[in-house]
Structure 1
């Protein structure tokens, strides 16, 4: 990014006309809606064909939302940090701090929203340590992130022994039950959507199940988390503050030459990253389980990194990636092997569509052949097998993570200097 281009983009952002990243955002939103519609149509077809009602049931969708929120919050945290040029492997550790802080705050102040704030502050504290190590002292960002995760695990174990073990109903690795957050439903929709869903009609019942899942018994924390997605887009792509954050990740030398304090903005981005990860952890202890347990994050911080990469460091893509991981996890938790087996048919159809698309584009003939063979193999596996072993079903989310990362790797565009240390005045 040249000095001239950066100056022009800063002027455009100040005038709120067309900042960096605004080009194509409208068409990108249309593509996302079209993709979502095609996915619902595909799942409806598979549900009818494979007789797997739970693929689009309201219960599955409701659990999907609950499982996607902590992953999505961690991924948004990674976006803030890495857009500023700081790799944040420590998201898992910041989530661990958030789970403990959320339960501690809710119990001690007898208010779940106090737990939300405490979880965010705990995550921010872990992020501050990461920022001091990487931004100020130039420590390798991967090593610092791993150290934060290890430290968070040890600190929460120690704090649990000091606090929760002394409380009735708690012990060294678990807190007493925490106050519940309020859930809400959209008035006047429950009966109508339930009746339509129970008909099991093609597409209409699936849409009703999805709508019922996202409009009934939804935690206020979940609504807050969903609102943070467009808020992140607005701040990062529509404000001068967001422009400077992204400039620090794309070309910190040019940003510094224009008077941007790169250290200050990187500190701010990493701490905001910790706040998001802490909120994701607090969600686990306040909403998902209503209790803190040791090991509660179960690697969701790392899956959040995968969702961020799948989303190509964009909020809308992150929301899609988090939903995908949450959906596969919800299927295996609620219904076991049958819906996961039915997903093989959906995967086969998707791969066949990708193969046809690549075949039309004659530059990817070899890729079309490989994808087509994979589609046939998956379909044969679906047709010849009646179910999937339970051992495989339990690792479906992790297999999904690997597949998604391998497929997304060809179209990634990470921030230019992410992971690279920056020292003030290094351009001189």
Structure 2
């Protein structure tokens, strides 16, 4: 008699529930849960800055570079090339954008940032695809090379003008646009300070006012990346290189060529993310160290999004919001997020109890108790913690999302044509 393996009833139940609800619907549900938690926190703590339009504008401005770096990581890793070098490519993009932007205006700066980032991607492609160098080693080298190249060029070209080798002269910015009269109406609703309604008005108002063309381009690239990678023959061949390059080669796909395309596009997107740091309003120009590890955070957003465009958009929004909140409002509002995190964790507890996953529910309840205890017994967080809020959120989110990740099967593996 043959034994038949069976899964626990609780797993079957949760599996059926997951199958009934599409991934996009689950994502929207958690967005709604997070919104309700932040809205309640704003009301209970008397801190409308949590959902104000100014906070949302800062979140968008700070989240766009992370989003573009995440898209760059998506293109490379879907082709099977790990791109740790996003940070260095962003640095090259910031320098190239500042240099060309100062000379010929923001549009020229945008093009130069893309070209400089693509050159960084080309170097990474040559190292990993042609010479088979370990992807992590090559990525770290690109980060060092990007920082060193930018510093050398700044000393050579910027220092005589700005009198400072660490920064460029002021760079012209893109103009910003607002959807009117919608923006004015949303501002009026926000000023009413009604629970829920004013929160929605503040969030939407921040998304439709003070928007630059570069921001619009970044958001447009999310559906474009999805359509190209998942709905075109080119994207199917590119993704096959990240899943099973040997099988792709047997079907006539030029794996080397597609990997080169993917990594160069990855670098171009990272360079575009660097341009967002200098060509959007709020920054004078190139400044040494201004990327502040956003390339790594973009990589984390991509992983959080499970190597999907929609998911990484949510990750970039989360990291941009946490960064914008601590920048605009400081220690008090970041401290209030502990209350919001407690409410979200309580929602996780309810979900796990419904799934009859008692251990996960207990762990979530324990973390909720710790979060609320810290919130209750402290008035504000230390400056050292507040300044690193985006990095801490990155670690927490990756730890929470690690159980459901599914990277491309051949991601990071060395490929040689004709190998078995």
**TM more than 0.5:** yes
SS at match of 2:292: coil
What residue in structure 2 maps to residue 160 of structure 1? 154
Output the CA distance in 2 between the equivalents of 1:96 and 1:396: 22
Stretch moving more, 282-291 or 41-50: 282-291
Per-residue deviation, residues 359-385 of structure 1 (Å, max 9, x unmatched)? 2222x2212111111111211222222
Q: Tell me the residue number matched to 1:295.
A: 289
Give the equivalent residue in structure 2 for 1:117.
111
> In structure 1, what is the Cα distance between the partners aligned to 2:276 and 2:284?
9
Instruction: Give 1:387 shift.
Output: 2.0
Alpha carbons 1:311, 1:317 under 8 Å: kept: yes
- Residue ranges of structure 1 left out of the alignment (5+ in a row): 1-23
CA contact (8 A) 2:33 2:344 kept: no
Q: Do the aligned residues in 2 keep the contact of 1:100 with 1:285 (CA within 8 Å)?
A: no
* Residues 46-102 of structure 1, C-alpha deviations (whole Å, 9 max, x = no match): 110111111000000000000100001001000000000000000000000000000
2:417 aligns with 424
Deviations 1:205-254 (A, max 9, x none): 00110111011111111111111111111100000000011100000010
1:313 and 2:307 correspond:
yes
Structure 1 residue aligned with 2:175: 182
User: Distance between the aligned counterparts of 2:284 and 2:189, measured in 1?
Assistant: 32
The aligned counterpart of 1:256 is 249
Match of 2:121 among 121, 127, 139: 127
Distance 2:121 2:274 in 1: 14
Paired residues for 1:25-424 under 5 Å: 27-109=22-104, 111-167=105-161, 169-287=162-280, 288-362=282-356, 364-424=357-417
Contact in 2 for aligned 1:95/1:123 (Cα 8 Å): yes
Secondary structure in 1 aligned to 2:22? helix
Q: Which runs of 5+ in 2 are unaligned?
A: 1-18
Per-residue deviation, 1:173: 1.3
CA distance in 1, matches of 2:263, 2:193: 47
TM-score normalized with structure 1 length: 0.91
Taking only aligned residues, the RMSD between alpha carbons, in angstroms, comes to 1.4
State how far apart, in whole Å, the 2-side matches of 1:155 and 1:343 are: 39
CA distance in structure 1 between the partners assigned to 2:273 and 2:80 by the alignment: 22
Aligned equivalents of 1:366 and 1:415: distance in 2? 30
CA contact (8 A) 1:81 1:273 kept: yes
Task: Find the residue that maps to 1:163 and give its secondary structure.
Answer: helix
Offset at residue 170 of structure 1 (A): 4.8
Q: Which moved more, 1:391-400 or 1:203-212?
A: 391-400
Deviations 1:254-293 (A, max 9, x none): 0000000000000000000001000000111211413001
1:13 match = none
User: In structure 1, what is the Cα distance between the partners aligned to 2:242 and 2:53?
Assistant: 41
* Deviation of the 1:171 alpha carbon: 2.5
271-280 vs 188-197, which deviates more? 188-197
Q: For residues 410 and 82 of structure 1, what CA distance do their matches in structure 2 show?
A: 19
Aligned partners of 1:224 and 1:235: how far apart in 2?
16
| Whole-angstrom distance in 1 between the partners of 2:174 and 2:321 | 23
Using the alignment, how far apart are the partners of 1:45 and 1:158 within structure 2? 50
* 2:124 and 2:142 in contact (8 A); partners too: yes
Shift of 1:356: 2.1
Q: Output the CA distance in 1 between the equivalents of 2:29 and 2:349.
A: 19
Name the count of aligned residue pairs. 401
- 2: CA distance between counterparts of 1:32 and 1:399? 22
Which digits, 9 at most, give the CA deviation of each residue in 1:283-330, with x for residues without a partner?
Answer: 112114130011111110011111111000000110100010111111
